[in-house]
Structure 1
Amino acid sequence: MANVFISHRKSDATAAKQLAGEILAAGHTVWFDEWEIGIGDSVVARINAGLEDTSYLVLCYSTADVTSPWVSREWMSALHRQMEGHNVRILPVRLSGSAPAILADVKYADLAEDWELGVEQLIKAIR
């Protein structure tokens, strides 16, 4: 099964956690900040380790935007690795709002329109 990193803003944590649980239930390994970063851990080191081992970065975006410093670094890191030929894919997930301009041509899972269908399509994209 695949290693999946969930990237999200704090304001979207509830939906992101639900999504992480559904991906986990489908049999994939999921990196979700609340599950992976413990008291006393280096946040940067834990995120870096999660990004290095991931095959898929699920980018949750909403009207809260994706320009938070953490989310921006996470998905831009994955994009950079992708452009250098590493086997990592960015899978955008719309919770609300619109995608960042650089990902406008990438098909996304639309959880805002239909949560169940969007999750089904996302899990199908994760091989």
Structure 2
Amino acid sequence: MATPKKKATPSRAAKCSFMFQAANIEALFPVLDALAWLDFPDTSQVAQFAGIDPRTAGKLLKNCLSIGIAQTAAKEGFALTTPYPYKGDIEQKKTVIREALVRMPLLQHVRQFLNLGDSLDDAVRKAATLDGITDYDASAFGPLLKWSKQMNVLQPDLLIEDIIEDAIESKEERHRSTDKKIVAFLSHSSRDKPFIRQLASDLTKNGISVWLDEREIRVGDSIPDKVGQGLAESDFFLIALSENSVDSAWVKKELNQALVAEIEKRKTHILPLKLSECQIPQLIRDKKYADFSANYKEGLKDLLSTMQQQTTL
């Protein structure tokens, strides 16, 4: 008697190597707030800070990694890789996401193929191939395309320079109007986070909008390439200097002539903040600094006075 043949088991389709999580883009803002304020938080800490469930926090953090707005850091925690306006308005926060999406290599390639006349479906498939994504599945890209359409970043000819120029024009219009709001870009080392939290809180209380930029995580990155919208919108570039930071790679590598030129081109005043006894870097030694090394309250008073004076000039 012949042995019956077993039915062939269909092979399971390989899973696409890229997957963007379906999530409401508005829910991303409290997650970014958590990353800006906490020291390398894990998923559960982000969820608690943001007031959302851990599963949703996990999805949003994965999306942050995908678009390059965050990275994994010490002890499996997370950290921002771009300046972020904690306590800023909703439009400022949206521009952070928009800039990250514009810079995302996958979407850059999508726009290039759209510019060549391809349909969106074809452009995404080709861009995925170019990016080394395997086992392509169009459904894996659906949530990313939804975010991209909401942030209006799929125009074929859109470049990062366009949104930077828009931000500069917005700042100039603010200066021409009666709005006296001051925007400050606060660059610091992660080791000085406790001081920065206090300063950001006090500046906000005094009506100053603060962009936080934590330098040290990716010392190979170039500040001029990263500051984007935050620097373009800001009236002041505040750089926190201490014994923790002046000898670190982010100061030695990033505080260079290119950075100073980039800041001054955007009509942004550089104000060093002296947190403790340390050597002020040569390139900004001629700049007036606010001295917090002896007395925090006096340093804050001097900083606020200087910012007010320079914005009225």
TM-score relative to the length of structure 2: 0.34
Output aligned runs, 1:64-83, within 5 Å.
64-66=244-246, 68=248, 70=250, 73=254, 79-83=260-264
**3-state DSSP class of the match of 1:126?**
helix
Q: Match for residue 98 of structure 1?
A: 279
Q: Match for residue 12 of structure 1?
A: 192
Q: Match for residue 48 of structure 1?
A: 228
Distance 1:113 1:76, change over 3 A: farther
Partner Cα separation in structure 2 for residue 9 and residue 117 of structure 1: 22
Distance 1:48 1:73, change over 3 A: farther
- State the AA in 1 paired with 2:244: A
Q: Match for residue 303 of structure 2?
A: 122
Structure number having the greater strand percentage? 1
- Post-superposition shift, 1:47? 3.6
Q: Match for residue 242 of structure 2?
A: 62
**3-state DSSP class of the match of 1:113?**
coil
Partner Cα separation in structure 2 for residue 103 and residue 73 of structure 1: 13
**Partners of 1:78 and 1:90 within 8 A in 2:** no
TM-score relative to the length of structure 1: 0.77
Distance 1:74 1:24, change over 3 A: farther
Distance 1:7 1:75, change over 3 A: farther
Structure number having the greater helix percentage? 2
The higher-RCO structure (CA 8 Å, 6+ apart) is 1
Q: Does 1:27 align with 2:201?
A: no
Please give the root-mean-square deviation of Cα atoms over the aligned residues, in Å: 2.5
CA offset digits 1:32-84 (Å, max 9, x no partner): 248xxxxxxxxx88742211211101110001234645555478665213443
| Structure number with bigger Rg | 2
Task: Mark the runs of 5 or more structure 2 residues left unpaired by the alignment.
Answer: 1-180, 215-222, 309-313
**3-state DSSP class of the match of 1:98?**
coil
- Post-superposition shift, 1:6? 0.5
Task: Mark the runs of 5 or more structure 1 residues left unpaired by the alignment.
Answer: 35-43
**Partners of 1:24 and 1:30 within 8 A in 2:** yes
Partner Cα separation in structure 2 for residue 113 and residue 121 of structure 1: 13
Q: Match for residue 182 of structure 2?
A: 2
**3-state DSSP class of the match of 2:262?**
helix
